């Protein structure tokens, strides 16, 4: 089916949001006209999209890796931000 213009804008934003001034949430609202909740829902859907992977494989693979780390951390019962102590 391909990516919509909004989908491409979301992926482009995710690639470079930290270069903007202010908070990510404010930049999402200002540049995309979306709430942060809606943005992350759409971004999650794009993470599983083959078209999104073809458009920007680095961003999609990074998002998949972060999602897998968070899922693994929840399953193992610790915070995703802290390494395990062994």
The runs of H, that is alpha helices, within the chain are: 5-16, 24-27, 36-47, 50-55, 57-76
81 belongs to a structural domain: no
Domain housing 32:
15-75
9 belongs to a structural domain: no
**Interval 53-79: pLDDT, tens:** 999 999 999 999 999 998 888 888 765
Count of domains observed in the chain: 1
30 belongs to a structural domain: yes
6 belongs to a structural domain: no
39 belongs to a structural domain: yes
60 belongs to a structural domain: yes
Residue 32: its pLDDT value, please?
95
**pLDDT at residue 35 above 90?**
yes
26 belongs to a structural domain: yes
Q: Rounded distance, CA 17 to CA 24, Å?
A: 7
Q: Once rounded to an integer, what is the mean pLDDT over residues 32-48?
A: 95
Q: What is the pTM of this model?
A: 0.78
**pLDDT at residue 52 above 60?**
yes
């Amino acid at each position: 089916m391909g990516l919509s213009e909004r989908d491409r804008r979301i992926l482009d934003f995710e690639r470079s949001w930290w270069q903007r001034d202010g908070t990510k949430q404010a930049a999402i609202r200002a540049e995309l006209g979306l709430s942060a909740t809606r943005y992350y829902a759409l971004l999650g859907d794009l993470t599983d999209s083959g078209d999104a992977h073809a458009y920007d494989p680095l961003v999609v693979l990074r998002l998949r890796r972060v999602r897998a780390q968070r899922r693994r951390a929840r399953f193992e019962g610790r915070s995703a931000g802290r390494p395990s102590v062994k």
